[in-house]
Amino acid sequence: MGFKMGIVGLPNVGKSTLFNALTKTAAAQAANFPFCTIEPNVGEVAVPDARLDTLAEIAGSKQIIPTRMTFVDIAGLVKGASKGEGLGNQFLANIRETDAIAHVLRCFEDGDVTHVDGRVDPVADAETIETELMLADLESIEKRRANLVRKLKGNDKEAQQQDRLLAAAQAAIEEGKPARVVEVDAEDAKAWKMLQLLSTKPVLYVCNVAEDEAAEGNAHSAAVAEMAAAQGNAHVIISARIEEEISQLDAEEAEMFLGEMGLEEPGLDRLIRAGYELLHLETYFTVGPKEARAWTIRQGTSAPQAAGVIHGDFEKGFIRAETIAYADFVANKGEAGAKEAGKMRAEGKSYIVKDGDVLHFLFNT
């Protein structure tokens, strides 16, 4: 399981440049990091993780299979999208299918690139898109609640739960706040997610800055950082132009170029890591002579659920998980050494998998 991130933004903010650069970079990666285009505006990329290479080297794995992430270049947005302006309806439909939103904001000054509103104000741009999502949600909520009236009269419990959650979302939006601010109890979590409200999606603000500001950002990106922190969202600073240049280079040239720009890693890596943190994701590994493979799970996932990511039968017939922490696997030079040092543990159904765990599942068929 990877995750799907929709890239959104107003016209001329660098959204498509960033998407094209990210997917070209992925396509240029070695065979162990494959890229495929599912549709013209969908790119699937490998999640970079140096730990996987280390594990593969220790175990002598013939193949390295990273976990994957999908970028969706969402149709362009204009003010009034919630009412179907521009490609609004397509935009709203596509965004429902994503796990999170990467909102590209123009944080660069360039007289040759016009802004749709004639000024550079990333915070106002963010508010424009947030408002469109909230207006679309409000319209959807009102329609859904109207359709629930008959079931509510019949004391339908599922309808009562749905109406209660919709009412909470409506109240938040009418106060000018996105639905994500609503606190939902554990017993309502599944039903809340099923509502698929647009303004519940976590947001990663991507500050697109000029090339010479990629390392430290600028006043515009600082304003976005402040806004993101207040909202409980995340932000990352990227220069789409730099990413575009990197996408044309081989690995050695790219590393040299990044060094010259004062950057330690490509924007793709920062974007994925920020997305993982935003969605509370983590990685576990399966390692052997045949392959070293990374698997993505949500924080708090139990061992049987983690096994189910590989195959449903693994979860159904789960017996135990032979577990080695990443650091112990490396320190003891592999599974045999870790076992000999007493670092391999047999964990049962209640075990919560930790980031970096190297796991081997035993199950009944």
What CATH number does the domain containing 327 carry?
Answer: 3.10.20.30
Tell me the residue range of the domain where 9 lies.
Answer: 4-278
Mean pLDDT of 158-177: 95
In a domain, 307, yes or no: yes
Q: Is the pLDDT of residue 25 over 50?
A: yes
Q: Which of 58-72, 216-230, 264-278, 291-305 has the lowest mean pLDDT?
A: 264-278
Q: Is the pLDDT of residue 215 over 50?
A: yes
**Count of domains for the chain:** 2
C-alpha pair distances (Å), 60 with each of 50, 64, 218, 289, 333: 15, 10, 45, 6, 11
In a domain, 287, yes or no: no
**Residue 55, exposed/middle/buried by CB under 10 A (0-12, 13-18, 19+)?**
buried
Q: Is the pLDDT of residue 89 over 70?
A: no
pLDDT for position 3: 82
Mean pLDDT of 88-115: 77
In a domain, 289, yes or no: no
State CA 319 to chain mean position distance.
31
pLDDT for position 84: 52
Q: What percentage of the chain exceeds 70 in pLDDT?
A: 88
Q: Are residues 224 and 320 in the same domain?
A: no
Highest mean pLDDT: which range of 73-77, 144-148, 240-244: 144-148
Q: Are residues 198 and 346 in the same domain?
A: no
**What's the pLDDT tens digit per position in 178-189?**
999 999 998 999
pLDDT for position 298: 92
Contacts of 345 (CB under 8 A, 6+ apart): 322, 323, 324
pLDDT for position 144: 94
Q: Is the pLDDT of residue 113 over 80?
A: no
**What's the pLDDT tens digit per position in 253-307?**
988 988 888 888 888 788 888 888 888 899 999 999 999 999 999 999 999 999 9
Residue 155 belongs to domain with CATH number: 3.40.50.300
Task: Return the amino acid letter for 93.
Answer: A
pLDDT, mean over the chain: 86
pLDDT for position 63: 95
Q: Which of 21-30, 221-230, 353-362 has the lowest mean pLDDT?
A: 21-30
Q: Is the pLDDT of residue 139 over 70?
A: yes
In a domain, 36, yes or no: yes
Mean pLDDT of 325-353: 96
Which helix H or strand E contains 21, and what residues bound it?
helix 15-27
